[in-house]
Each structure stands twice: as structure tokens, then as C-alpha cells.
Amino acid sequence: MSNPSLLILAGDGIGPEVMSQVQRVIGWFGDNRGLNFDVSEDLVGGAAYDKHGVPLHDDTMAKAQEVDAVLLGAVGGPKYDDLDFSVKPERGLLRLRKEMDLFANLRPAQCFDALSDFSSLKTELVAGLDIMIVRELTSGVYFGEPRGIFEEGNERVGINTQRYTESEIERGARAAFDLAMKRDKRLCSMEKANVMESGILWRQVVTEVSKDYPEVELSHMYADNGAMQLVRAPKQFDVIYTDNLFGDILSDCAAMLTGSLGMLPSASLGAPMDNGRPKALYEPVHGSAPDIAGQGKANPCACVLSFAMALRYSFGEGGEADRLEAAVEKVLADGVRTGDLMQADGGTPVSTTEMGDALLAALDASL
Ligand code: NAD
């Protein structure tokens, strides 16, 4: 049987720096766990624009459609700020998401014990936190028609339309229930059924889907209450399923409960491919961090943890994903910190490569 395939798109700024550490981790799994991947690399974002005049070449798009998973670093940077909207680096990422039809965005908010004092909340509220937010990514108010700024009488009116079909709600719900089955079997669906018809439909469809998942305990919450509960008592949640707009806001809010952008992975999943696994793009939540790019300061953990998600959701290697996450936990517990994880009271930060060294040593120790 051929090896699973992985397309690496390191992108811009700190993207290539953090990705080089992930490449070492991938190599480690090949050398030590017999897990070999057919890894190919290509350009995205500003790097692709510099070479091809577009932020994602058609050939790269075609490759992304064929592989088992895509791992992306970050795109963007000040050099590209004045480009036309149609060729901005971010358009490369949007094209990948759109053409791969990645409708479920998975954003874990997991608090590593060693970093619990980094949260803006009290340590006891976040220690051991482990939430997964599933955000519907390809529909809702960001895409609904009509949209635009129109003249009405003697003033302008801005219009966006919240629109969800049953099937759009359903496929995301199934992804969320499947995840809940692999976790603590609790799912909280969030909408505004009190004031929005799309919310009423959302609640109905999620309830219908739940009949296929009798083991999962389903609850419903208005999204504004959800925001309050996330900062009041975040550990009450296991999996949260919500729409594109609410998910955008709630997932950022939940992510910050855990402290640093440099620690946050994400996955975007689409429909199952012939092998039964979903189309998938894995990427850190952070951007290209132009303020520290090229200085060897970036924290590679978010990108490494994105690869751990790929191990779990694309390659069926949950045990190895646990091993990698435990290595990150150990390194942090040992006090190894990149600059973004330093407290005001000092210490010496390690470089991106030194963080990679520490991760590999922790992986060695796990054998
Ligand atoms: P950013 O995430 O790049 O950086 C925000 C802050 O967090 C910066 O101070 C940065 O140094 C720090 N930071 C981020 N990741 C870090 C890491 N791994 N280690 C240490 N520190 C880290 O967001 P921004 O500054 O708003 O955007 C910069 C560029 O990135 C822009 O061009 C933006 O469009 C782009 N961007 C891309 C993505 C993506 O590729 N998915 C996401 C967000 C922003």
C-alpha cells in the first residue's frame, strides 16, 4: 500500500520557519514509528504571488485536491498589503477552502497545565480545559445573497443575508456529532433561535441528526449566552457546533482562554474522499507574524499541533497524535518557552529550532 500523502504549503513570514520544525517531527515519525508520508511541498500566498503572479497556482490547487491532507503555515505580510484584492495572499487560502469545500472548521481550545496562568481567566477556570468548536465555514451570513451597499431613499443601506439550507446545517452537524463520539459525547449547539428563523431551522435539523447519535448528549444554547458561559465556566463544554458568524467570534473567544496564539491549531474538513477520510486542511490559527519573521523567534507548537490533528483526523493515528500532544505538554511542563510564552518576570526564551529540538527529545523519551 502506498504511503499517505501530505501537501505542505509553508507560505509566508514565520510559516516556513514553523513548518521546518514540523518537517523534523514528520521525519521523526518515519524513523521511529514506521509512519511514512509522501510529502510534497508547494507555494501559497505571497510566496506563490512572487513566483506566479497569483496567490495559488492551478497546479497547486489540483495537488491539494488529490492528497490525503494539506498542511499550511501562514500567508500574508506588509509587502503584499497594496496588492489588488483578487491576488492578495489570503485569497490563496480562501480558494483552497472554497474549492476543497471545507465546510467544518475545527478549533480546539485546550489549556496546557503549564500555561494555565497565561489565560485572562483564573487558573482554576481553565486548568484542564479541552473544548472543540465546530464552526460551519462555507455558508451563512458571510456568503448569503443579497448582499451589498445600496441606495435607499436618500441614504445608503448595508445588507448581508443569513441563509442556511437544511443540508448545510446537517453535514456540519454530522461532523460535530462524529467528533463528540470520539470525545466526551456531549454536544452543545449554539444559534439565536429566539430571534432568527435560520436559528429555528438550525435547532430543528441538529435535533433530527441527533437521533442517529443516541449516545451523544445534545443541548442547545443561544449564542449570546454561549459567549457568556465560555468566559464564566468554559469547562462545562465538550463539543460546540455553531454557524459561520457566531463560530468566528466564539472560537476566537474560546481560543484566547488558553493564552497564546502560538499554541493554537485548527483543521478544516470537507466531504469524505474515496478512502472514507474527509478532505482536510490543517493550519495554525496565527498569521505570518511579520513583526518576528526571519528572527528565529516563532513558536512552532501551533503548527506541530496542527500536524497532530492531521494524524488524528486524516491518518487514523489517534495514538500517535496523543504522543505528539503529550510531547508538547512535557516540553512546556519542563519550562521550555519561546518568546510569546514568556512571563513578564523573565527567563531566556528559546529559538524556534531549540523548541523543535526539545519536542524531538520529548518524542524520543516517549518511546
Ligand atoms: P499574526 O497572527 O500574524 O500575529 C499577531 C501577533 O501574534 C504578533 O505579535 C505575532 O508576533 C504573534 N504571533 C503569532 N504567531 C506567533 C507564533 N507562532 N509565535 C510567536 N508569536 C506569534 O496576526 P496579524 O499580525 O494580525 O497578521 C499578520 C499577517 O498575517 C497579515 O498579513 C494577516 O493578513 C496574515 N494572517 C494570516 C492568517 C493565515 O495565514 N491563516 C491568519 C491571520 C493573519
Residue 320 to residues 179, 215, 219, 313: CA-CA distances in angstroms?
Answer: 18, 26, 31, 11
With respect to CATH, is domain 130-257 assigned 1.10.1370.40? no
CATH code 3.40.718.10 region(s) in the chain = 1-122+263-367, 130-257
Query: According to the model, what pLDDT value does residue 234 have?
Result: 96
Burial 342-363, CB ≥16 within 10 A → b, else e? eeeeeeebbebeebbbbbbebb
Name residue, grid cell 514506521: 34
Query: According to the model, what pLDDT value does residue 120 have?
Result: 85
β-sheet bridge partners, residue 74: 11
Span 1-122+263-367 CATH architecture: 3-Layer(aba) Sandwich (3.40)
Query: According to the model, what pLDDT value does residue 347 have?
Result: 75
Phi, psi dihedral angles at 282 (to 5 degrees): -115, 135
Secondary structure letter of residue 107 according to DSSP: E
Cell reading at 216:
451523544
What is the whole-number distance in angstroms between the Cα of residue 140 and the centre of ligand 1? 26
Instruction: State the closest ligand 1 atom to the C-alpha of 301, by its place in the atom list counted from 1.
Output: 18
* 106: region left, alpha or beta (phi > 0 left; psi from -120 to 50 alpha): beta
Instruction: State the closest ligand 1 atom to the C-alpha of 299, by its place in the atom list counted from 1.
Output: 19
- Indicate the SS3 state at residue 50: helix
Cell reading at 92:
490563496
Ligand 1 is surrounded, with C-beta below 6 A, by 14, 18, 74-77, 90, 93, 261-262, 283, 286-292, 298-299, 302, 338, 340
What is the whole-number distance in angstroms between the Cα of residue 182 and the centre of ligand 1? 31
Residue nearest to atom 4 of ligand 1 (CA): 289
Query: According to the model, what pLDDT value does residue 276 have?
Result: 85
Query: According to the model, what pLDDT value does residue 345 have?
Result: 64
Query: According to the model, what pLDDT value does residue 117 have?
Result: 82
Please check whether residue 221 is in contact with residue 190, taking contact to mean a CB–CB distance below 8 angstroms: yes
Cell reading at 45:
500566498
Query: According to the model, what pLDDT value does residue 261 have?
Result: 85
Question: Would you name the residues annotated as active-site residues?
Answer: 142, 192, 224, 248, 252
Query: According to the model, what pLDDT value does residue 77 have?
Result: 96
Beta strand pairing call for 155-161 and 186-191: unpaired
First-last CA distance in the chain: 26
Distance CA 300, CA 75 (A): 15
Instruction: State the closest ligand 1 atom to the C-alpha of 18, by its place in the atom list counted from 1.
Output: 18
Query: According to the model, what pLDDT value does residue 344 have?
Result: 64
DSSP 214-257: TTSEEEEEEHHHHHHHHHH-GGG-SEEEE-HHHHHHHHHHHHHT
pLDDT digits (tens, 9 = 90+) for 317-364: 999 999 999 999 999 999 999 999 887 666 789 999 999 999 999 999
Residue 127 to residues 253, 309, 315: CA-CA distances in angstroms?
Answer: 16, 21, 29
Q: Which of 44, 288, 350 to mutate to test the pocket of ligand 1 (most atoms within 8 A of CB)?
A: 288
Q: Which of 56, 88, 281, 286 to mutate to test the pocket of ligand 1 (most atoms within 8 A of CB)?
A: 286
Show pLDDT as tens, one digit a residue, over the chain (367 residues): 789 999 999 999 999 999 999 999 999 999 999 999 999 999 999 999 999 999 999 999 999 999 999 999 999 999 999 999 889 999 999 899 989 999 999 999 989 888 888 888 999 999 889 999 999 999 999 889 999 999 999 999 999 999 999 999 999 999 999 999 989 999 999 999 999 999 999 999 999 999 999 999 999 999 999 999 999 999 999 999 999 999 999 998 888 888 778 999 999 999 988 888 899 999 999 999 999 999 999 999 999 999 999 999 999 999 999 999 999 999 999 999 999 988 766 678 999 999 999 999 999 999 9
Instruction: State the closest ligand 1 atom to the C-alpha of 74, by its place in the atom list counted from 1.
Output: 40
Residue nearest to atom 26 of ligand 1 (CA): 287
